Amino acid sequence: MHSTKSAVLLLALAISASCVVATPHPEFLDDIFDALNRTGQHIISGFLDATKNGTAIAEEFLDNIRNSSAQYYNETLEFAQKIEDAVHRAATEGITDFSAALGAAIDVLHQEIDRQRNVLQRKPLKDALARLQAIQATVNDLENAVNDLNDEIDEKKLQYSAIIQEKWIQWADAQLERVDEQTNGVGTEEAEEILDELLSRYSGYLHSCLEELQVQKASYEQNVHEAVVKYHNATNNLTAEVRLCLQSNLNFLSCRNGINRALRVLSSAPADLIALKLQGIRVRASGLNASGCVGQTLAEHELEKPNVERELDDIIARYQDEQEGSSSGEETSTAIVS
Ligand SMILES: *[C@@H]1O[C@H](CO)[C@@H](O)[C@H](O)[C@H]1NC(C)=O
Ligand SMILES: *[C@@H]1O[C@H](CO)[C@@H](O)[C@H](O)[C@H]1NC(C)=O
Ligand SMILES: *[C@@H]1O[C@H](CO)[C@@H](O)[C@H](O)[C@H]1NC(C)=O
Ligand SMILES: *[C@@H]1O[C@H](CO)[C@@H](O)[C@H](O)[C@H]1NC(C)=O
Ligand SMILES: *[C@@H]1O[C@H](CO)[C@@H](O)[C@H](O)[C@H]1NC(C)=O
Ligand SMILES: *[C@@H]1O[C@H](CO)[C@@H](O)[C@H](O)[C@H]1NC(C)=O
Ligand SMILES: *[C@@H]1O[C@H](CO)[C@@H](O)[C@H](O)[C@H]1NC(C)=O
């Protein structure tokens, strides 16, 4: 159950990542590829096949993950985490680069507007400046939306993992120790099975709470990255048109046409970037939903603990009955709740 869930998550993240990588920042995944062993390489070729054929997931690839060992599972999760980080980094660095390009383009326009004496010829430059300033105003908000979403999810992850460490792992360790001591090690294996089953069942619930959020976040960041790269390119194009105009003393009409053509690509930018900011806020809302789901899972785990403790009590009682060697061992074995 574990590994199937993480495989789905991983696959979705990898599909997002491969889209990001298809646009100009391949170096982001370089260190991931470096860190991976042959298993990792195999996972990657699985993804590449799956992504090449659209949404079809290569059955053999999923089979491999289902059959995987705990070690493999651990690698898979780590890999998913690295991909998540890479997607986030691609989005935020894309925004930073774009923001710098906008600033530079705005500076160039200011200079050229100051230099240009002819009012008519200033007009297209002023239009371009106004457009870029409108875009610049939305980029900060978008950057904040992307970072807020990421920070919130990170914070939740830390919060959950602290609770899980204390209420799940430390509790289970203490229970195991209790059985181990009170049965002289005889009941340890059975207790371990019960506790492992509980842990892996609840880990599965947690994955179902969180996987959709992770996928939403990754595809959101991928959308941000795509938009930012597109408008970054258009901004460069605009600056290039302005420079061309001034350097080669083109006639006014071709100048204006070149600038207006470049501006047309940018006309959808403010609305697009605002829409992306809002999408980020919606993903945060599903984050709250996921938190609700996690909260409920943690609460259910608390409710189930006393039953598990009773099962462990039974193991201890059975051992102690056997030690006493005398009377009926039968009546203790019935009250087990699953
Ligand atoms: C790669 O494999 C070797 C041997 O199997 C192992 O010791 C090492 O930790 C692995 N590295 C990573 C990054 O998984
Ligand atoms: C996907 O494409 C690869 C290479 O083209 C092919 O070998 C593989 O069988 C395809 N997988 C599916 C599920 O269609
Ligand atoms: C996975 O395990 C199943 C059942 O043990 C087996 O039939 C299947 O061939 C295995 N798949 C792979 C890819 O090893
Ligand atoms: C998973 O791998 C990390 C780093 O290789 C290690 O620190 C951690 O203990 C492993 N977890 C499990 C459950 O094996
Ligand atoms: C914009 O991207 C295209 C490819 O999509 C590229 O050919 C062109 O050089 C880029 N333009 C700028 C100004 O970066
Ligand atoms: C700007 O982009 C247009 C359309 O893609 C292209 O025709 C033009 O050459 C580019 N201008 C510059 C200066 O790169
Ligand atoms: C929250 O979860 C409920 C129940 O699963 C679902 O109906 C609702 O659409 C979710 N809301 C968001 C914002 O994801």
Domains of the chain as residue ranges with CATH: 87-326 (1.20.1410)
Q: Give the contacts of 279 (CB within 8 A, at least 6 positions apart).
A: 220, 223
| Mutate which of 23, 226, 233 for ligand 5 pocket (most atoms within 8 A of beta carbon) | 233
Whether the per-residue pLDDT at 214 is higher than 80: the answer is no
Which atom of ligand 2 approaches the CA of 56 most closely? Answer: 13
Centroid of ligand 6 to alpha carbon of 123 (angstroms): 20
Which residue from 263, 298, 39, 287 is spatially nearest to 162, judged by alpha carbons? 298
Does the beta carbon of 71 lie inside 6 Å of ligand 1?
Answer: no
Q: Which ligand is located closest to the Cα atom of residue 255?
A: 6
Q: Which ligand is located closest to the Cα atom of residue 233?
A: 5
| pLDDT tens column, 226-258 | 899 899 999 999 999 988 887 766 677 888 888
Geometric angle at alpha carbon 156, from 153 and 160, rounded to 5°: 140
Does the beta carbon of 56 lie inside 6 Å of ligand 2?
Answer: yes
Give the separation between CA 261 and CA 190, rounded to whole angstroms. 73
Whether the per-residue pLDDT at 323 is higher than 70: the answer is yes
Q: Whose CA is nearest to atom 8 of ligand 3?
A: 63
Report whether 276 contacts 224 (CB < 8 A).
Answer: yes
Q: Give the contacts of 142 (CB within 8 A, at least 6 positions apart).
A: 95, 224, 273, 274, 276, 277, 280
Q: Which ligand is located closest to the Cα atom of residue 52?
A: 2
| pLDDT tens column, 130-165 | 999 999 999 999 999 999 999 988 888 788 878 888
Q: Whose CA is nearest to atom 6 of ligand 7?
A: 289
Give the number of residues written for the chain. 338
Give the separation between CA 50 and CA 65, rounded to whole angstroms. 14
| pLDDT tens column, 9-64 | 455 555 444 444 444 334 444 544 454 444 444 544 544 444 444 333 444 444 55
Centroid of ligand 7 to alpha carbon of 76 (angstroms): 28
Which atom of ligand 3 approaches the CA of 67 most closely? Answer: 1
Give the separation between CA 46 and CA 18, rounded to whole angstroms. 12
Q: Whose CA is nearest to atom 12 of ligand 5?
A: 233
Q: How sure is the predictor about 175, in pLDDT bands with cuts at 50, 70 and 90?
A: very high
Query: 3-state SS of 10-49?
Result: HHHHHHHHHHHHHCCCCHHHHHHHHHCCHHHHHHHHHHHH
Rounded mean pLDDT of the chain? 77
| pLDDT tens column, 272-293 | 999 999 999 999 988 888 888 8
pLDDT at 336: 45
Does the beta carbon of 45 lie inside 6 Å of ligand 2?
Answer: no
Rounded to two decimals, the pTM is 0.69
pLDDT at 21: 42
pLDDT at 234: 96
Does the beta carbon of 233 lie inside 6 Å of ligand 5?
Answer: yes
Whether the per-residue pLDDT at 193 is higher than 70: the answer is yes
